[in-house]
Structure 1
Amino acid sequence: MGSKVRNIRMTQTKQSLINAFVNLVSEKDFEKITIADLTKGAKVNRATFYAHFNDKYELLDYILGDSASAAIVNRTKGEVKFDQDTISQLVLALCDFYQQPNIQCRSSYVGLVVPQMKDKILNELKVFLSQSLEHIYTNDEKNIYVPIFAQVIHEGALQWAVGSTVMSKEEVAKRVSLFVVSGFQSSDRTLS
C-alpha cells in the first residue's frame, strides 16, 4: 500500500475516533467511556485504536492540541509576526478556542478538560510568539518575554470566555493587543 493511501486512511481513522469521542462525551462521563465504546462508535477494532492512541487520555490530549493549533492558524492565516493586529488576532483565536471546544463539557469534564485546554493553548501561543520574536530578541530575552506575553494574551481571552467582562471579544482583543505592544515597545526601548 502506498504511503499516501496509508496516510489518508490513518487520518480518516483518527477522525472517526475523534468523532466517536465527541459523540460519547455528550452522553457519558469521561471516566465511564471505554475503549470498546470508542471503537464501536468509530467502527474500528481495538488494535486500530491502539495503533493511534495509548488510551482515551491521549485521544483527549490530541483533540485539544489540534483544536488549539487550528484556532491560532485560522485567525493568523498562518502568518507569523509580532504586531498589534496579530496580537489582536491571537486574543480572538483564544476566545474562539474557549468558546467552541470540540467537547460540549458536562460538569464532570470541567476539572479534567479546562486545565488541559489552558495548557494546550498556552503551549501553542508560546510557540507562535517565540517564532514571531525570533529576529527581535535573543533566546535569553525570549525566555523572559514570551511567557509574559502569552499569559497576558491568555488572561484577556479567558476573562472574556468566563464572562468576567461585558466587553465584546473584539474590544478585549484591541485592549490586550495595545497593552502587549506598548509593553513590547517599552521593553525594547530599555534594551537599547
Structure 2
Amino acid sequence: MQRRGDQLSQKESCSPRRGEDSMGPSTKKVDPRVKRTRHLLQQAFWELMHEKGFSAISIQDIAERATLNRATFYSHFEDKYQLLDSIVQEQFHQMVTKDLDLPPKWEERTLRILIGAVLEFFREFDTCPPSASLNPLVEQAVQRELYHLFVTWLNQAPTSEPARSVSKELLALTTSWAIFGAAGQWSRETQAMSAEHMTDALLAVVTEGVASFTPGFVQE
C-alpha cells in the first residue's frame, strides 16, 4: 500500500492497544487477570510478527515470549489466527468507538466516525509488517467487525416501518462492504484524495441509501 500523510511510528500504530474485548458496544466487565494475559499474548505475537513474520511464528514462540505456557495460550485462543483476529478487531473497535457517545445513536455523525475509522485503519496498516498472505486475514477481521457494529447499531435504531422491506442484516452487510471496499481501493491509489474528502464522498453515497431504508436515521 502507498503511504500518505503523517504516519504514526511503527511501534505506535502496530502494537496492540489495551481495551475492551468486544464485537460491539458493550458494558460487560472482563476479569483484569484475563485482560492482562490476553494483552501479554497479543503483545508477544506482534513483537514476533516484526521479527520473523506470521508464517514462522509457533504457539510455543508466543507463549515463551509472553512468559506463559502453551496451556494458557489455548485457554484464551484456539490458534494464532484467532489471536490475530482479536488484535485487529479490538484495535478497529477502539478506533471507531473512541469518539462516540455510548450507546451510539443511529445518525450521520456515527457513520462519519465509522468511515473515518476505516480509512484510519488502512492508513495505519501501511506501517505494519508487510505480508501479502496476511493482508486478507487482517481485512476479513475488520470487515466482520464493521458488519457486527452495523448490526448492533441498526438493532438500536428506531423501529418505524421502512419505506422498503430490507432486513437489518442485509442492510448492514451491503453498507459495510460498500465502505470497506471503497476504503480499500482508496488505500491502494498512489494519488488518492485526502481522508477528509474521501470521508465526505463516502458519507454522501451511504447516507442516501441508509436514510431510504431506515426512516429513523438522523442526517446532519
TM-score clears 0.5: yes
Aligned counterpart in structure 2 of residue 25 of structure 1, from 49, 52, 55: 49
The higher-RCO structure (CA 8 Å, 6+ apart) is 2
**In 2, Cα distance between equivalents of 1:45 and 1:103:** 30
Deviations 1:124-182 (A, max 9, x none): 34334423545245684424422222222223322333336621111111121122222
Q: Which moved more, 1:8-17 or 1:158-167?
A: 158-167
Kindly provide the amino acid, as one letter, of the partner of residue 171 in structure 1: H
| 1:169-184 alignment, distance < 5 Å | 169-184=195-210
**What's the secondary structure of 1:76's corresponding residue?**
coil
CA contact (8 A) 1:75 1:92 kept: no
1:48 aligns with 2:72: yes
* Structure 1 unaligned blocks of 5 or more: 1-5
Kindly provide the amino acid, as one letter, of the partner of residue 92 in structure 2: A
Q: Which moved more, 1:121-130 or 1:29-38?
A: 121-130
Q: Once superposed, what is the RMSD of the aligned Cα atoms?
A: 2.9
What residue is the counterpart of 1:88 in the other structure? 112
**In 2, Cα distance between equivalents of 1:73 and 1:153:** 17
* Structure 2 unaligned blocks of 5 or more: 1-29, 216-220
Q: Which has the higher helix share?
A: 1
CA contact (8 A) 1:91 1:156 kept: no
**What's the secondary structure of 1:97's corresponding residue?**
helix
What residue is the counterpart of 2:38 in the other structure? 14
**What's the secondary structure of 1:27's corresponding residue?**
helix
TM-score by length of 1: 0.79
Q: Which has the larger radius of gyration?
A: 1
| Change beyond 3 A, Cα 1:67–1:122 | same
| Change beyond 3 A, Cα 1:111–1:85 | closer
